Structure formats: C-alpha cells, structure tokens
Chains A and B, each alone.
Chain A
Amino acid sequence: DIQLTQSPAFLSASVGDRVTITCRASQGLRSYFAWYQQKPGRAPNLLIYATSTLQSGVPSRFSGSGSGTEFTLTISSLQPEDFATYYCQQLNSYPFTWTFGQGTKVEIK
C-alpha cells in the first residue's frame, strides 16, 4: 500500500499568511492525488484533485502542486474560514485501496 507522510501536523498562522502543507507519498499518482478540508463536527470537503485541479466552488486562494512523490497544498492568503484540518489522499491501484495522510491542523496564531 501507498504510505503518505503529511507535514506539519500542526500549523499556527495569522489571517493573510501564506500557508503550505506537504505530503510525501511512497508512490506518486498525479492523476488522482487529492486534498480535503475538514472542520470540527463536519464531513471532509474536497478541495483539490488530480494534484492541482480545483474542485468546483473552492476559492482560488487554494492551489495544489506536485513533483515526483511530493505534493503540496498552498493557501495564498489565509482567511478566517480556512482554520480547519487538512488531509491529503492517494489511491493505490490493484488492489484498490485509498490512503489518507495524518492531517494538518491549521490554528489561529
């Protein structure tokens, strides 16, 4: 199975900051790689798929990139509603399984 190592686990930032979260995968599958946002008590919400494609309705301050087995989620200017936990996700083909990163909690500084 694919292993995902997400960092940092916690991130303290201020409104307006540029924030970067990284996920290192044991294997890269750029056509699938995804990022989700989860707020307390809520289901996860898809932000980015196929490494860099923004899901419909997601603000353009969110962006994704990837090179080899390293994938990055960037928030260009952190907004109050962005304080949440973020997860990366990868697909392992044959047999099909899905793996989530450990999560990054973005907190208010």
Chain B
Amino acid sequence: QVQLVESGGGVVQPGRSLRLSCAASGFTLTTYGMHWVRQAPGKGLEWVAVIWHDGSNKYYADSVKGRFTVSRDVSKNTLYLQLNSLRAEDTAVYYCARHRVRGGIITPFDYWGQGTLVTVSS
C-alpha cells in the first residue's frame, strides 16, 4: 500500500540548516509530483514546494524561495527538502504529499505522510 514516511525534523538554531526526507513506498516517485506542505503550531496549512514527476520542474512558495531546495533520489524512492538559513517562522510540522496528472489535469494531494516537526529556536 501507499506510504509516505517523513524524517529528519528536530530542534535547530536560527540560521542553521536541516534536511528532511520522505521515503515513499507502494508507488514510484517517477509517476507522481511530490510536495512539501507545512503547518505552524496551531495554524493552517501552507504549501512549500513541489518537484515534478520527471524532476523537470521545481516550484517554491515565496516565503522559502532561495532558502529551501526540493530534490529526490529515484533509486531510493525518497524525496528531500533542504532547509537553509532557518528562521523562527519556519517552525512547523512538515508533511510530504503527492499529486498525479490525469489526462493532462493535475489532481490534488491524495496521500500524505504523518509529518516531521522542525523547531527553530536558540
């Protein structure tokens, strides 16, 4: 069955870096677009980044552009998010999720991981 398992969260000081991982099983990353979505404590959902199914395109929210980088390793079927120059406002649970393209139409996020908590604090 489809599973997404995030890891790599933790407590990090402002200005430092962290890399999150999302291990996928039950499907291959080469057939789905993959996203990172975050949720600050007690707040709503914020879309962060996407990588296309073929790796050809990556898009970012303005709030993370230039600081975060999405990538993947298809041999490990794993998605990554490199978080640099971290700020207190980056504190959140980070989820990975997938989308599919059906008949040329992008579909919403049908599977999500359980999330990993990133806390940026001195």
Chain A residues with CB under 8 Å of chain B are: 31-32, 34, 36, 38, 42-46, 49-50, 55, 87, 89, 91, 95-103
Contacts and interface: CB of A to CB of B under 8 A. Distances in A.
B59 A96 contact: yes
Contacts of A45: 112
B102 to A, nearest CB: 10
B47 A49 contact: no
Interface residues of B, number: 22
Contacts, number: 57
A42 B113 CA distance: 9
A31 B112 contact: no
B61 interface: yes
Nearest 10 A/B pairs, CB to CB:
A34-B108, A43-B112, A98-B47, A100-B45, A103-B44, A49-B108, A96-B59, A46-B110, A102-B44, A31-B105
Contacts of A44: 37, 45, 95, 109, 112
Would you call the interface of chain B mostly helix, strand, loop, or mixed? strand
B27 to A, nearest CB: 15
A52 to B, nearest CB: 13
A49 B35 CA distance: 17
Contacts of A97: 47, 59, 61
Interface of B: 35, 37, 44-47, 50, 57, 59, 61, 95, 97, 105-110, 112-115
Contact of B114 (A43, A87, A95): A43
26 contacts: A31-B105, A32-B105, A32-B108, A34-B109, A36-B45, A36-B108, A36-B109, A38-B45, A42-B114, A43-B95, A43-B114, A46-B108, A46-B109, A46-B110, A50-B105, A55-B110, A87-B44, A96-B50, A96-B57, A97-B59, A97-B61, A98-B35, A100-B45, A100-B47, A102-B44, A103-B44
B99 to A, nearest CB: 9
Contacts of A36: 45, 108-109
Contacts of B106: 32, 91, 96
